[in-house]
Amino acid sequence: MKAFVKIVYFTDGKSPAEVEGIMKHHGFTKVKGTSIFEAEVLDEAEGNSHVEKLHKALKGQNLFYEPTVGKTPEPGPGHQLSYKERMGKWREIGLDVDELSDLLQYDSERFKTRGLEMMKVQLERVTAEREREIRETEARERIERAREKIMAAVRTEGGQTFQQLSSLAGVDEEILTQMLDDMVKKGKIVARQSGRRVAYVAV
């Protein structure tokens, strides 16, 4: 685990070099290209202890700092992300940053083309996941509506046959069979036979 401290400098405060010396003295090393310092810690408690000691060292130095334990601080609104930091975020969404890094060094046009291709794949994946989520939600809602219709129907005198419930519920016969079996097992309905007629009746 790591403890992080993001420093915001002011012109009348300690210089970056002086602050870096203080941070090193307290076990923090600078993350290259940022104003963020990090230190290895065993757990959150040790991280908080490091930050507490650092607070006393930075007091009166006319600096603003933001500590976090276990999570890298987000860059502030005035921080311009470097291309390496941007590409690091691309990795988080599944892009092959190693391939793009190589292309960026030797073929910027191919870098742009390949980057767009990768982004399109990710967009298609997100779209497919969302569409599947919508279908699954609609299917659950459809089954729930069917269950409510079934329970209302089987409360009528004499109950309802499978064929009657099939035309009423609006789901295919295999799903209806599973639903009825589940409702019977849970004791919500019973199947009663009268001659050749089998009816489902609410308990």
pLDDT category at 189 given cuts 50, 70, 90 is: very high
Domain boundary among 78, 97, 131: 78
B/e letters for 49-58, b = 16+ CB within 10 Å, e = fewer, are ebbeebeeeb
Res 74: pLDDT: 62
What CATH number corresponds to the domain at position 44?
Answer: 3.30.70
Residue at 71 is within a domain: yes
Domain boundary among 57, 78, 99: 78
Longest dimension (CA), the chain: 97
pLDDT category at 21 given cuts 50, 70, 90 is: very high
Q: How far is 187 from 181, CA to CA, in rounded Å? A: 10
Contacts of 118 (CB under 8 A, 6+ apart): 95, 96, 100
Res 81: pLDDT: 64
Q: How far is 188 from 166, CA to CA, in rounded Å? A: 18
Residue 165 reports pLDDT greater than 60: yes
Res 75: pLDDT: 56
Mean pLDDT of 95-114: 88
Residue 12 reports pLDDT greater than 60: yes
As a residue count, the chain comes to 203
pLDDT category at 35 given cuts 50, 70, 90 is: confident
Domain boundary among 78, 102, 132: 78
Q: How far is 18 from 187, CA to CA, in rounded Å? A: 75
Count: domains in the chain: 2
Mean pLDDT of 162-186: 91
Q: By percentage, how much of the chain surpasses pLDDT 90?
A: 31
Give the tens place of pLDDT for each residue, 106-148: 898 998 898 889 888 888 888 999 999 999 999 889 899 999 9
Higher per-residue pLDDT: 93 or 74: 93
Residue at 173 is within a domain: yes
Whole domain around residue 60: which residue ranges? Answer: 2-78
